[in-house]
Chains A and B, each alone.
Chain A
Amino acid sequence: MVVTTRTKKTTKSTKSGAERRYRPKVAVWKFASCDGCQLSLLSCEDDLLDVVGEIEIAYFLEATTAVIKGPYDLSLVEGSITTEHDAQRIRKIRQQSKKLITIGACATSGGIQALRNFGDVDHFIRSVYARPDYISTLRTSSPIHEHVPVDFELRGCPINKNQLVEVINATLNERAPNIPHVSQCVECKKNGTVCLMVAKGVPCLGPVTHAGCGNLCPSTDRGCFGCFGPSEAPNGPSLARQLEKLGMSKQEIRDFFRSYNGNAGAFRETSEAYD
């Protein structure tokens, strides 16, 4: 739930009689990530102009080099924390932000780079870099909520642009966003998608995965990969037992749960049981 803080109500009438509201200052921040979620904002196309008309973009390097100093009404944060420098930076951002919303699998669970959490980071550094002593990194990739309080977490790898607009829209209009925390199965059934697991025996993470992607994979005949992370009440062990019945090996099950959201609680616990 977004904590509702009332925005400043300096309004003036426009020609159409509609109230012109105070335009909140919005900043978009990047941590360890691929930029894909920030790009979702730029991909909002028709909606983008409406959004930009209602907010003041104060910091968004992906879109503009112009920077307005904080504090900010809303900070959107992409990416995970992988260095001590970033761990310090996110605290400063939180201090300057009335509301902080994390966007995407990296920011909400640690992302694909959190695979390092299951291995030996020193070994990776020695294997990859000619001068390991130049590399300064944390042992883990961790989600933003492990470092600072977060007002709302928007899931997905990448996030769904309609959900992003909905969260910004809800924030501007001081209402709760319509982002259900149910399983992907609910999205399949509302969409009329036939269950791949039941009708074809295709392995699918849908029953334990958060809805919101727009039913992308199951509606195109592919099982869910879990891009949106765990649903509100995931039962990983039960689904894993069913995946075994469908013929997946223990290693395949471990790897299935350990991808974009592998570090997210329920997915991590299930994959570790199959290590």
Chain B
Amino acid sequence: MSQTHKSSAQASPKSAHGSGKGKSPSVGAKLVVGEEGIATLLAILKKIGYKTIGPTLRDGAVVYEEIASLGDLPVGWSDEQDGGKYRLVQGTKGSFFEYLVGPTSWKRYLFPPNHKMWEADRKGGSFEVKNIDPTDIPSYAFIGVRSCELNAIRIQDKVFGFGRDDKPEAGIFSDPGYVERRKKSLIIAVNCSRAGKTCFCTSMGGDPHVVADQGHDLALTELISGSRHEFVVEVGSERGALIAELLSCRSASSSDLSDEEAVARKARSQMGRKMVANVKDVLKRNLNHKRWEEVASRCLSCANCTMVCPTCFCSSVEDKTDITGNHTERWRTWDSCFSIDFSYIHGGAVRRETKSRYRQWITHKLSNWHEQYGTSGCVGCGRCITWCPVGIDITEEAKAIKDTGE
């Protein structure tokens, strides 16, 4: 999925920008800015018309919401996570990005929980359909996207057909709303300075630090020690280069780069969980394992895992008439394979028992997803482990099946 932004050299959603002061840094360049560089970045993004969505503290967690300035960031905060448990804790004083992924994922903005698809009005004996105006969709700048989250966005790109030409005759369609939101979004990634107890991106083929062509416009690595507080800025796209040009920065020295690598090494060494090897085939071989019954005795069937998962994409559509029946709207809303109605077809629901719903989720995520989209559906972010109220652990379930199955 490297189609991202290479074709577009516009920094601004309004195309208002472009009169740079000097020569733009090239894609792949690494620069260094201080705290004020991040403040400038936020200000620039707002000025050129982006809706800046980033990390901020709310109700005991770091969530992704609209932010305006450095004061909105979770400055000095970190977190501790484990199965069914998340706690904010004091982190390194003054740090901007020490926290790890929380309950929100970027799908909230690219694939909103409730979304009006079209509406229609009765006109005489007929009716008139009105589609949603795509210009109403805001241009988001996502601040603080982690490497696992970039991978998740790329997985949802495949699901919703971003970067793919529609070929209706071949049955290939894309989701116009997703494509529009995605096209307009700018991604400022942040490399992880640590990993938590529920992190396992490295065993899902990922890395806590982003690599070239991962889909980011800029990627930041926070360097904080003693009185030093700087950020290595990696330019990920031409659009990112135009923005980087407006920041007052210097080129990264070899010592900056070795500091950056040290941050990555530390995060890689701290992975709290690990997915068993070859999980795709392990699950496929064990569809009648007794573990499914066992996990169903703990599973609340509450759907939290699917709601927090950055790749889960299930939805249902609801037709809502007004009381007169003269106006109707079709809404798409998040749904889950853990809901019984989700598998309702004529005659009843297909997956009535919790064990079959749990099995459906984990086998789709880790096994069948490969056949459907050519990749795993899991990026190892650990959200489903942390935010399961009873702490059911996808890595532990896969391991139990591998250890005792066929």
Known: A18-B122, A178-B318, A235-B354. A183 touches B59 (CB 8 A): no
Complex formed: what's the CA distance from A166 to B318 in Å? 12
Contact present for A181 and B60 (CB under 8 Å) = no
Stretch at the interface among A70-78, A92-100, A107-115, A191-199: A191-199
Contact present for A242 and B340 (CB under 8 Å) = no
Closest-by-CB residue of B relative to A200 is: B60
Contact present for A193 and B297 (CB under 8 Å) = no
The answer to whether A175 has its CB under 8 Å from any CB of chain B is yes
Closest-by-CB residue of B relative to A209 is: B302
Closest-by-CB residue of B relative to A20 is: B324
Known: A181-B340, A183-B301, A186-B334. A173 touches B321 (CB 8 A): yes
Contact present for A235 and B307 (CB under 8 Å) = no
Closest-by-CB residue of A relative to B334 is: A190
Among residues 269 to 316 in chain B, which have CB atoms less than 8 Å away from a CB atom of chain A? 297-304, 307-308
Closest-by-CB residue of B relative to A199 is: B60
The answer to whether A157 has its CB under 8 Å from any CB of chain B is no
> Which residues of the other chain, A, contact B84 by a CB distance below 8 angstroms?
197-198, 242
The answer to whether B160 has its CB under 8 Å from any CB of chain A is no
Residue among B104, B298, B326, B340 making CB contact with A238, cutoff 8 Å: B298
B236 to chain A, nearest CB (A): 28
A253 to chain B, nearest CB (A): 14
Complex formed: what's the CA distance from A196 to B58 in Å? 12
B278 to chain A, nearest CB (A): 30
Complex formed: what's the CA distance from A173 to B326 in Å? 10
> Which residues of the other chain, B, contact A239 by a CB distance below 8 angstroms?
300, 389-390
The answer to whether A41 has its CB under 8 Å from any CB of chain B is no
Stretch at the interface among A47-55, A59-67, A120-128, A145-153: A47-55
Known: A18-B326, A189-B113. A197 touches B301 (CB 8 A): no
Contact present for B113 and A169 (CB under 8 Å) = no
> Which residues of the other chain, B, contact A186 by a CB distance below 8 angstroms?
302-303, 307, 334, 336, 339
Contact present for B318 and A207 (CB under 8 Å) = no
Contact present for A54 and B334 (CB under 8 Å) = no
The answer to whether A90 has its CB under 8 Å from any CB of chain B is no
Known: A172-B325, A192-B63, A198-B386. A207 touches B334 (CB 8 A): no
> Which residues of the other chain, A, contact B307 by a CB distance below 8 angstroms?
185-186, 189-190
Known: A180-B339, A195-B387, A195-B389. A208 touches B300 (CB 8 A): yes
The answer to whether A165 has its CB under 8 Å from any CB of chain B is yes
Contact present for B323 and A235 (CB under 8 Å) = no
> Which residues of the other chain, B, contact A158 by a CB distance below 8 angstroms?
none
Closest-by-CB residue of A relative to B113 is: A190
B197 to chain A, nearest CB (A): 13
**Total inter-chain residue pairs, C-beta < 8 Å:** 148
Closest-by-CB residue of B relative to A190 is: B113
Contact present for A194 and B61 (CB under 8 Å) = yes
Contact present for B326 and A165 (CB under 8 Å) = no
Contact present for A180 and B341 (CB under 8 Å) = yes
Complex formed: what's the CA distance from A201 to B387 in Å? 12
Complex formed: what's the CA distance from A190 to B104 in Å? 10
Residue among B59, B324, B336 making CB contact with A194, cutoff 8 Å: B59
Contact present for B60 and A169 (CB under 8 Å) = no
Q: What per-residue 1/0 map shows which CB atoms of B333-376 lie under 8 Å from chain A?
A: 11110111100000000000010010000000000000000000
Complex formed: what's the CA distance from A204 to B390 in Å? 12
Contact present for A242 and B323 (CB under 8 Å) = no
> Which residues of the other chain, B, contact A166 by a CB distance below 8 angstroms?
320
Contact present for A199 and B303 (CB under 8 Å) = no
Complex formed: what's the CA distance from A238 to B304 in Å? 15
B67 to chain A, nearest CB (A): 15
Contact present for B321 and A235 (CB under 8 Å) = no
> Which residues of the other chain, A, contact B302 by a CB distance below 8 angstroms?
183, 185-186, 206-208, 231
Known: A185-B304, A195-B103, A198-B387. A178 touches B61 (CB 8 A): no
Contact present for A242 and B389 (CB under 8 Å) = yes
Contact present for A197 and B389 (CB under 8 Å) = yes
Complex formed: what's the CA distance from A197 to B304 in Å? 12
20 new A-B contacts, CB < 8 A, other than A180-B341, A182-B335, are A168-B323, A172-B323, A172-B325, A173-B321, A183-B302, A185-B300, A185-B304, A189-B113, A189-B303, A192-B63, A192-B65, A193-B59, A195-B86, A197-B389, A198-B86, A199-B59, A208-B300, A233-B354, A235-B301, A239-B300
Q: Which residues of B contact A (CB under 8 A)?
A: 58-61, 63, 65, 84-88, 103-104, 108, 113-114, 122-124, 297-304, 307-308, 318-326, 333-336, 338-341, 354, 357, 386-387, 389-390
Jot down 20 A-B pairs with beta carbons below 8 A, ordered by A.
Answer: A18-B324, A50-B323, A53-B323, A166-B320, A172-B323, A178-B320, A180-B341, A181-B340, A183-B300, A183-B302, A186-B307, A189-B307, A190-B307, A190-B333, A196-B59, A199-B87, A206-B302, A233-B338, A234-B301, A239-B300
